[in-house]
Structure 1
Amino acid sequence: MNFDQLARNLKILLRSNTIIAEIHLRHIAARAGLFAFAALVAGFGVVMLGVALFLVLEHSMGPVWAAVTVGAGGLVLAGIVAAIGATLKPSRELALANQVSQSALDAVSANLKSTSSSVTQFASLAAVPGLIIPALTMVLGLFRGRRRN
């Protein structure tokens, strides 16, 4: 029953889970940033390039088909940036943090099992006085009963 090891392993488990959460948050923030950038590119691309391209294509295609072509180009560009954002993977730090977390969890589990067996042994030893006291009371009662007779 080593409470120092249990406390150390619990601290390691807590710290590794904190690191895992931070890595996940950074990953989510990076993806969100790229999706926001994709939206910005789509908006800016549709407005600026759209106006310029529209003016160029209007003479050869007419105003309607020029607008359709410009809009489709902006959407394709936004789709490419969004696809890049969707393919981002967490760094190698996550795998290491998961290994440390699992190791600490296994150590805590082993410590708790050894602690529970120690507590069970202690409880069985603690039950001995609980049995001895009633037995002594009964023996003393028998001796007192013999004295009175």
Structure 2
Amino acid sequence: MNIDQLSRNLRILARTNAIIAEIHLRHFAARAGLFAFAALVAGFSVVMLGGALFLALEQSLGPIWAAASVGGGGLLLAILVAVVGALMKPPRELALANQVSQSALDAVSADLKATSASLSSFASFTAVPSLVLPLLTMLLKAFRGKPKA
């Protein structure tokens, strides 16, 4: 079992999880933007087209049905844009990031099993505490990373 390999796999796992979270955040922001746009379209259609369509339809349909037609058209457009936003799929990068994350998780799991097996076959139980402290120290140093400039 190589501690450097375990440390590398843990860093890969942490990095891929950060990438996955960033992709989910960008996807959420895109969907939220489309929902905000749907609300803007609904408001704009009610204000701008509402007056013009109402005046055009008032003579043929009467004031009540003209107003109902104008409001229904604006809401239909807003619903259409909201449905497009809800049906948006996450980008393809998410599948790749999930695969890399799963590979790193599998590698970490295998490394930990190998470490467990090698520790259980170790000659004496009293040697384990002397190995745990250096291992924890190395892991903490690995996760601290390099300071960003």
Compute the TM-score of the two structures, normalised by the length of structure 1: 0.82
Deviation at 1:56? 1.0
Deviation at 1:110? 0.5
1:127 & 1:78 partners in 2: Cα distance? 68
Runs of 4 or more consecutive aligned structure 1 residues displaced over 4 Å after TM superposition: none
| Correspondences of 1:57-136 after superposition (within 5 Å) | 57-122=57-122, 125-127=123-125
Distance 1:8 1:64, change over 3 A: same
Equivalent in the alignment of 1:30: 30
Distance 1:78 1:128, change over 3 A: closer
Structure 2: which amino acid aligns with 1:80?
L
Equivalent in the alignment of 1:147: none
1:33-75 CA distance string (max 9 Å, x none): 0011001000110111001101111122111111000001001
Deviation at 1:128? 9.2
Equivalent in the alignment of 1:15: 15
Structure 2: which amino acid aligns with 1:10?
L
SS of 2:89's equivalent?
Answer: coil
Tell me the percent identity.
Answer: 72
Say which one has the larger Rg.
1
1:64 & 1:13 partners in 2: Cα distance? 62
Equivalent in the alignment of 2:45: 45
- Structure 1: gaps spanning 5 or more residues: 130-149
2:78 & 2:126 partners in 1: Cα distance? 76
Q: How many residues align?
A: 127
Aligned-residue RMSD, C-alpha:
1.5
Distance 1:7 1:127, change over 3 A: closer
1:69 & 1:39 partners in 2: Cα distance? 19
Distance 1:77 1:19, change over 3 A: same
